[in-house]
Amino acid sequence: MFKNKAKYVLVQHVIIDTDAGVDDILALLLFLKAEREGLVKIEAICCSSNATTTVGNVCKNVVRILKLIGRTDIPVYQGSEKPIICPEKEITLYHGNDGFGDLDFDEEPDLSIIKKVPSAIGMNEIVSRHPGEIYLVCLGPLTNAALAMILYKDFASSLKEIYLMGGNYKAIGNVTRTAEFNFHTDPESVYIVLRNAKCPISILPWETCTITKMTMKWRFEELGNVNDPLIQLLNKAEKSVYRNRLSESWYPCDAFLAITLIYPECIEKEGIYHATIELHGRETRGQVVLDHLNENESNVRIIKRVNENFVKDMLYKSFRAGFAK
């Protein structure tokens, strides 16, 4: 199911599904730079809630960034406000009430550019026009993708590949003891996607992010000193979000996923497995379960390690080059 990719593969069509926190915005900017270099074509950005802010705020965050870089031509869709089953446990507001550090802006973004149909419908319309060509990149909960698979029988079989940031493979969690945030927020949608997808699925899990040893010190003293207005905006948002964690590690999880798709040579270790997700356990709901008995056909590639220096270099070069209109 999985094939080796040559260096700097041209990815022609990408749909980005996002819950648009500050880490999502960093990944989105990497895709936009890659598009400028002819490496990807962003067909749409689909928004969804992540249970810590509204989908309306997510849309505002995306539109605001697109306006700043002069790319409001990219279609934006508003998707699910809630997961299929809402979590019983209250989830911490990791990125502020608005998902972007609760910064003060001079004006509200113009949301009239958002398409009138929901994300699931928009996804299917695009995939129907480009069967077998779309890379679906999910940076948050999988609600929109799952709804598209439920609504349209051909959607799951018409994607080229799916890239997911979320889950785990060692049962190490960050929102519970055994579950990662994105997958725990809507595990039913993860189950639907893993069960129904007919294309290769790559998962960049939480554990992969934590072993890179990137620090807040590097984030703000090196990357943060690049003279680019967007990195300065992200500096403000991230300092607001991480103000009590500035001496700790920095985990730009969604940026890791973006870089592994655009520059697959950064991947140092991976494994092929059959994966599903626990839906019922009192202590394990949202945990990814791998079939170590090999009783089922493999359905995912787990990206286990990325080259930290490659990631740093790509982030620094991307912002040093600037995102001016």
CATH code of the domain containing 166: 3.90.245.10
CB atoms inside a 10 Å sphere around CB 113 = 16
Which domain, by its residues, includes 261?
11-321
The answer to the question of residue 169 being in a domain is: yes
Give CA–CA dist 59/127, Å, rounded: 21
> In the chain, how many domains are there?
1
The answer to the question of residue 6 being in a domain is: no
Residue 256: what pLDDT? 97
Residue 2: what pLDDT? 44
Q: What is the three-class DSSP state of 150?
A: helix
The two counts, helices (H) then strands (E), for the chain are 12, 10
The answer to the question of residue 5 being in a domain is: no
CA 95 to chain centroid: 15
Residue 45's contacts (CB-CB under 8 Å, 6 or more residues apart) are: 15, 16, 17, 18, 28, 62, 66, 74, 75, 76, 77
**Is there a contact between 84 and 129 (Cβ–Cβ < 8 Å)?**
no
The answer to the question of residue 228 being in a domain is: yes
Per-residue tens of pLDDT for the chain, all 325 residues = 444 444 445 557 999 999 987 889 999 999 999 999 999 999 999 999 876 788 988 999 999 999 989 999 999 999 999 999 987 666 555 555 655 655 556 678 899 999 999 999 999 999 999 999 999 999 999 999 999 999 999 999 999 999 999 999 999 999 999 999 999 999 999 999 999 999 999 999 999 999 998 999 999 999 999 988 889 888 988 888 887 777 789 999 999 999 999 999 999 999 999 999 999 999 999 999 999 999 999 999 999 999 999 999 999 998 887 765 4
The answer to the question of residue 155 being in a domain is: yes
The answer to the question of residue 1 being in a domain is: no
Give CA–CA dist 277/224, Å, rounded: 37
Q: Which pair of structure tokens corresponds to residue 24?
A: 């999502």
pTM: 0.93
The answer to the question of residue 81 being in a domain is: yes
